[in-house]
Structure 1
Amino acid sequence: MNLLALTLAVVLPALAAAHSWIVCTDYLENNGWYWDEAKCRGWPRSAARYNLRYGRFGRQDEYAHRLDDHPESNPLCETARNDNTEYTDNTPMAAYYLGQKVVLPHPTNGHVADARCTKKTAKDIENLMFVVDGDEDPCCIDSDKLIQIMDMGVSPYGENIPDELTTTYPKPGFQNAPKFCENLPGNALATYNFTIPMDLAPGRHTFVWKWIRTRTTNPFTSCWEADVFSTKAERDAHYLATGRSTADMWDFYEINNIVDGEIVDPPGNEIITG
């Protein structure tokens, strides 16, 4: 192997491992171990075009949207807003209610610090949620139309931190992927959660996720729309009318007894999602 080929062999996997995106915009299971598309009630823009629902989780790299070169002037979203074409019967728009905790799954694509199976130096710098003021896409990441509604924290990393900090789940931030070591190098499920502000006006809104992997890497973003209702009853009526579950979100670690990374609950503790 020549020097160029050797360099590419080392560098290209690292570049590929840097991508991520929001796969689902209303997922039923917080802090879950494995992706299950049946638990998804709402999808981001262009989910059908990029086969986010039926494709292999974490393999739609072309959907990842990084604000390369000049993030202050690049388009904020991978695709432009068009509510009539960017959502389908199989990948419908999400609906929320004021005060709802919303779960967002995303692939880690190898980017997790977990001392059991990789180095502890995978960085996690910023994880923010925004809602857009208005009906049009903001020009860029510096737009004053972006209203921050939550800082979802950062994951622990660094050679000098205890191993236990990297192997204890749930985690804040991007690296909340309890089964990461089973899915090296790429397709582990991770989840965020954020809360719909109580003072958000009911109606249709655009939401934007922003992740910064390192201080020298430009942000990744995902965009989607959702109808926001005043109450859960109103949201549930909308989901029933569109053939979707009205089950409450649950937390994997609250409904299961986990010992040494294994579920030790007796049989019969299944969640019904229909």
Structure 2
Amino acid sequence: MKLFVALLVVGLPALAAAHSWIVCTDYLENNGWYWDQAKCRGWPRAATYYNLRFGAFGTHIDNNYTWRLDNHPEERALCREPRDDDRRYTEETPMAAYFLGQEVVLTHPANNHVAESKCRWRNTMDWENLMFVVDGDDDPCCIDSPKLIQIMDMGVSPYGRELSDEVLATYPKPGFQNVPKFCEDPDDAMGTYNFTIPMDLQPGRHIFVWKWIRDPAVPPFTTCWEADVFATKAGRDAHYLATGRSTEDMWDFYKVHNIVDGVIMDPVDPSINEIITG
């Protein structure tokens, strides 16, 4: 019995670390390697209170797994913090703004939950990754609320003992486990998702909800936030300029850099190629 208790205690940190939440609701770099708060233009509810901007990426200020829906939906609210736009957002952690058709990038900490053949268990599951917009101005009661309108299935990451090292260690990936630098910091490494704002969404302020199920035996994880949706990029850009934020388009890390075997290679000078091959 003493041995069992000791093993249980040793295992608890690993179990407790397998939680996550959305840190940034409008990040400028898709499939990025390292978190940079300067690239974040929008934040979830109460981001200032939980020190999401200036705190170490992936940490939280209490032991309640801040953004997790860690009970049955009928026993705990879907959103950790109730809606109060004037109090939940600040100049340091402002609300995001989107435009119809925009590809939005979200960031989240890995919290040890990646099937990575180089440094972790191959069988770490990823079960469901969905984005919702809420029908109306009030928070949904629960994960099964009819007010939740699914706008995107962001896919699931590959996992399993039968998969090759190449599959498990190749990025970018769909789903939660898109964390290219996971092995450098399994707890706090940055992962990214992306989803698209539907063209038929009515412009205005909306509640958005992220839902992740890492294992069907575990209750969902959720994060809630608001965003102002504009009909055009020009309208969104005017709003961001008025609030002192960048209007730069999102870029993709893997399209900007030449990456070979997980290493960023120096760009090749075309004139050198001409000399060598001429």
TM-score range for the pair, normalised by the shorter chain length: over 0.9
Tell me how far 1:5 sits from its aligned partner: 5.4
> Is contact 1:100-1:196 (8 Å) kept?
yes
Tell me how far 1:154 sits from its aligned partner: 0.2
Distance 1:267 1:260 in 2: 17
Counterpart in the other structure of 1:178 = 180
Q: In the TM superposition, what whole-angstrom CA distance separates every residue of 1:117-175 from its partner, at most 9, and x where no partner exists? A: 11101100000000000000011101000000000000000111122111010000000
Q: In the TM superposition, what whole-angstrom CA distance separates every residue of 1:164-187 from its partner, at most 9, and x where no partner exists? A: 111010000000000101113x01
**Amino acid of the residue matched to residue 263 of structure 2?**
E
Q: Are 1:238 and 2:235 an aligned pair?
A: no
Q: Secondary structure at the match of 2:107?
A: strand
Q: Secondary structure at the match of 2:85?
A: coil
> Is contact 1:29-1:252 (8 Å) kept?
yes
Counterpart in the other structure of 1:48 = 48
Q: Secondary structure at the match of 2:19?
A: coil
**Amino acid of the residue matched to residue 170 of structure 2?**
T
> Is contact 2:70-2:221 (8 Å) kept?
no
Q: Secondary structure at the match of 2:87?
A: coil
1:99-248 pair list within 5 angstroms: 99-184=101-186, 186-248=187-249
Distance 1:249 1:49 in 2: 27
**Amino acid of the residue matched to residue 242 of structure 2?**
A
Counterpart in the other structure of 1:258 = 259
Ranges in structure 2 where 5+ consecutive residues have no aligned partner: 270-278
Q: In the TM superposition, what whole-angstrom CA distance separates every residue of 1:45-90 from its partner, at most 9, and x where no partner exists? A: 0000000000000011645333333224520001000000000000
**Amino acid of the residue matched to residue 235 of structure 1?**
R
Q: In the TM superposition, what whole-angstrom CA distance separates every residue of 1:198-235 from its partner, at most 9, and x where no partner exists? A: 00000000000000010100000000000000000000
Tell me how far 1:9 sits from its aligned partner: 3.3
Distance 2:99 2:82 in 1: 25
Q: Are 1:11 and 2:22 an aligned pair?
A: no
> Is contact 1:73-1:139 (8 Å) kept?
no
Distance 1:245 1:17 in 2: 34
The worse-fitting range, judged by mean Cα deviation, of 16-25 and 194-203 is 16-25
TM-score, scaled to structure 1: 0.94
Counterpart in the other structure of 1:37 = 37
Distance of aligned partners of 1:63 and 1:206 in 2 relative to their CA distance in 1, 3 Å threshold: farther
> Is contact 1:50-1:63 (8 Å) kept?
no
> Is contact 2:69-2:80 (8 Å) kept?
no
Distance 2:57 2:71 in 1: 28
> Is contact 1:256-1:264 (8 Å) kept?
yes
TM-score, scaled to structure 2: 0.92
Ranges in structure 1 where 5+ consecutive residues have no aligned partner: 269-274
Q: Secondary structure at the match of 1:66?
A: coil
Distance 1:215 1:240 in 2: 43
Counterpart in the other structure of 1:70 = 72
Distance 1:267 1:33 in 2: 22
Identical aligned residues as a percent: 70
CA RMSD after TM alignment: 1.6
**Amino acid of the residue matched to residue 148 of structure 2?**
L
The worse-fitting range, judged by mean Cα deviation, of 42-51 and 64-73 is 64-73
Distance 1:143 1:43 in 2: 24
> Is contact 2:203-2:229 (8 Å) kept?
yes
Counterpart in the other structure of 1:95 = 97
Distance 2:71 2:43 in 1: 28
Tell me how far 1:112 sits from its aligned partner: 0.3
> Is contact 2:71-2:219 (8 Å) kept?
yes
